């Protein structure tokens, strides 16, 4: 649960500035392409919508993968070196080192994180509810539309538009409804053009050609299915104003692209501009039915910009403009990919809870044991003396020993990082749990693991545990040492063993 919350927080908080960056770059790119065909600007804004979702997702994925420790000792097996367990002082040092290497992570308190996630979930659910409501309204609209059959005048207009667009007699189903004010297109696999009942009886052939031709282009481009995909991509971004701007620009440039095709292949720009004004005058502003799940000639509320674009004589695209398009695409993509690498990392503050039994054991331990003793693993003095003699006798032996020490130091650092990262409870908590099982004086507590796959990488069947050595209160005089193995993940007791005191050998 914590990992999923952390990933969602990284997505949410990084998307605030990353989506704004994408929208700014897309706006600049669109401005640089203002004299080019509208379809290029449409591709820019569609790419911006994909990047607005893709860059934060990449950032969230990196927040998980970056925690993996790289293996710097590729030529060494775990069995080639024996490393003692991680003692208390080393555990605290490793925790401090890990905290310093992850300074990019910003800690958020649990209440703030819960508030942010709740607000985000409510916004997404609200947007999803609106989309579902629009989808239901669209299905009702389709079921209530009446098919137009044996209408030779409309069939002739459809045939003329299809021949102008594709050079073939492409058939499409036409319907009429009194619930729409402007022509719309719905349907992914079986597209349907729904015309207003006032438009069907219209005597203006130019107006009918403009409306039907525009909708045929939507059918040919599969804009209905693509629009539904864009709405689904927008759902997790619906909280961001810049994402709403990107979605709006996608709709506007889509209509501009369709207008350009109509003006190039079906009607003259002047005739089509007049028809747009007539059709827009019959459409209620900002009150289109199923705005999220239909496409139509009145989708974009930029009538003036559409008229100016039609009447403006644009130059044909040249090789220079294609090079500019490639450069602008790189201008949009490269900073967005770089943003994923420089993303901020957010984490939740841990709120450790101690059970009453552990709290009572802690108080008892503090009363009976004011000070713990750390017992670290040391070499035998005779081995140390023998090593010094070999170093003095052979310089090459000294270099070999130094290399071995350096290798063991690297191996130990990797092991410390892996153990501290895998442990879910602290060493103090493990001592409390061991004392609740067997009250007494703690001699040593170490962190270790079973079954290493390679240095720094645990095997699949491995488990991390704390080994607590203590002298029970009722066995102080006997010298019996109790070994308590505590699971470092869930705090459960793995096993408990007793070590009897060794008899001293008689001195020679």
pLDDT of residue 81: 43
Give the separation between CA 301 and CA 169, rounded to whole angstroms. 32
> What pLDDT is attached to residue 402?
73
Hey, what are 334's tokens? 């490269």
pLDDT: which is higher, 167 or 496: 496
Lowest mean pLDDT among 82-91, 100-109, 307-316: 82-91
- Mean pLDDT value across residues 47-72: 73
Higher pLDDT, 166 or 106: 166
The vertex-260 CA angle with 223 and 32, nearest 5°, equals 95
pLDDT at 411: 74
Span 346-370, pLDDT tens digits: 666 655 444 554 555 555 555 544 4
CA torsion sign for 471, 472, 478, 480 is: negative
DSSP 314-375: PPPP-HHHHHHHHHHHHHHHHHHHHHHHT--EEEEPP-----HHHHHHHHHHHHH-SS----
Q: What is the pTM (predicted TM-score) of this model?
A: 0.63
Q: Residue 51 above 60 pLDDT?
A: yes
Average confidence (pLDDT) over 35-57:
90
Beta strands 493-499; 481-487: pairing state: antiparallel
Residue 373: predicted pLDDT: 36
Q: Is the Cα torsion angle 354, 358, 361, 362 positive or negative in sign?
A: negative
70-100 b/e (C-beta count within 10 Å ≥ 16 → b): eeebeeeebeeeebebbbbebbeebbeeeee
Q: What is the pLDDT of residue 72?
A: 37
* pLDDT at 232 > cutoff 90: yes
More confident residue, 428 or 169: 428
pLDDT score recorded for residue 350: 55
Other beta carbons within 10 Å of 468: 26
Q: Burial letters for 302-330: b for 16+ Cβ neighbours within 10 Å, e otherwise?
A: bbeebbebbeeeeeeeeeebeebbeebee
Q: Is the pLDDT of residue 228 over 80?
A: yes
Domain ranges in the chain are 126-314, 356-499
Helix (H) or strand (E) segment spanning residue 193: strand 192-196
On the question of pLDDT at 448 being above 70, the answer is yes
Q: Choose the CATH number for 356-499 among 3.40.50.2300, 3.10.450.40, 3.40.50.300, 3.40.50.970.
A: 3.10.450.40
| Mean per-residue pLDDT over the chain, rounded | 77
Using the predicted structure, report yes or no on whether residue 88 has a pLDDT greater than 60. no
Name which residue leads in pLDDT, 252 or 450. Answer: 252
Q: What is the pLDDT of residue 329?
A: 80
Q: How far apart are CA 413 and CA 420, in angstroms?
A: 11
382: alpha, beta or left, given left = phi > 0 and alpha = psi -120 to 50?
alpha
Q: Are 340 and 58 in contact (CB under 8 A)?
A: yes
Q: What is the mean pLDDT of residues 312-318?
A: 60
pLDDT class of 89 with cuts at 50, 70, 90: low
């Amino acid at each position: 649960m914590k990992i999923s919350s952390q990933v969602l927080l990284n997505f949410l908080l990084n998307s605030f500035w990353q989506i704004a960056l994408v929208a700014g770059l897309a706006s600049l790119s669109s401005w640089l392409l203002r004299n080019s065909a509208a379809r290029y600007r449409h591709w820019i804004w569609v790419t911006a919508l994909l990047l607005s979702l893709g860059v934060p997702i990449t950032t969230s994925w990196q927040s998980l993968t970056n925690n993996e420790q790289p293996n710097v000792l590729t030529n060494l097996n775990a069995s080639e070196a024996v490393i003692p367990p991680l003692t208390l002082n080393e555990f605290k040092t490793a925790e401090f080192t890990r905290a310093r290497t992850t300074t990019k992570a910003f800690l958020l308190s649990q209440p703030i994180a819960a508030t942010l996630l709740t607000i985000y979930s409510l916004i997404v659910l609200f947007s999803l509810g609106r989309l579902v409501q629009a989808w239901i309204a669209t299905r009702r609209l389709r079921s209530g539309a009446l098919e137009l059959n044996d209408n030779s005048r409309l069939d002739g207009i459809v045939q003329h538009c299809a021949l102008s667009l594709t050079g073939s007699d492409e058939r499409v189903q036409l319907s009429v409804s009194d619930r729409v004010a402007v022509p719309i297109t719905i349907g992914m696999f079986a597209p349907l053009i729904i015309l207003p009942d006032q438009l069907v009886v219209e005597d203006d052939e130019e107006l009918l050609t403009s409306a039907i031709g525009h909708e045929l282009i939507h059918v040919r481009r599969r804009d209905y299915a693509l629009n539904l995909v864009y709405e689904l991509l927008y759902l997790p971004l619906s909280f961001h104003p810049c994402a709403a701007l990107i979605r709006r620009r996608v709709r506007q440039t889509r209509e501009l692209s369709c207008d350009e095709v109509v003006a190039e292949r079906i009607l003259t720009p002047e005739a089509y501009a007049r028809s747009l004004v007539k059709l827009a005058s019959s459409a209620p502003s900002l009150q289109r039915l199923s705005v999220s799940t239909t496409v139509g000639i009145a989708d974009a509320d930029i009538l003036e910009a559409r008229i100016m674009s039609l009447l403006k004589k644009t130059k044909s695209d040249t090789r220079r403009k294609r090079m500019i398009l490639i450069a602008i695409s790189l201008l949009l993509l490269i900073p967005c990919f770089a943003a994923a690498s420089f993303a901020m990392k957010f984490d939740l503050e841990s709120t450790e809870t101690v059970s009453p039994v552990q709290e009572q054991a802690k108080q008892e331990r503090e009363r009976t044991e004011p000070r713990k003793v750390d017992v670290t693993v040391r070499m035998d003095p005779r081995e140390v003396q023998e090593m010094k003699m070999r170093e003095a006798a052979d310089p090459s032996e000294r270099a070999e020993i130094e290399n071995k020490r350096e290798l063991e130091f690297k191996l130990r650092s990797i092991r410390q990082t892996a153990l501290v990262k895998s442990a879910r409870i602290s060493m103090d908590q493990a001592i409390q749990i061991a004392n609740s099982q067997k009250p007494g004086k703690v001699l040593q507590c170490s962190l270790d693991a079973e079954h290493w796959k390679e240095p720094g990488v645990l095997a699949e069947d491995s488990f991390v545990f704390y080994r607590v050595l203590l002298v029970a209160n009722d066995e102080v005089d006997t010298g019996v040492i109790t070994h308590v193995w505590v699971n470092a993940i869930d705090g459960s007791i793995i096993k408990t063993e007793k070590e009897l005191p060794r008899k001293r050998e008689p001195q020679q």
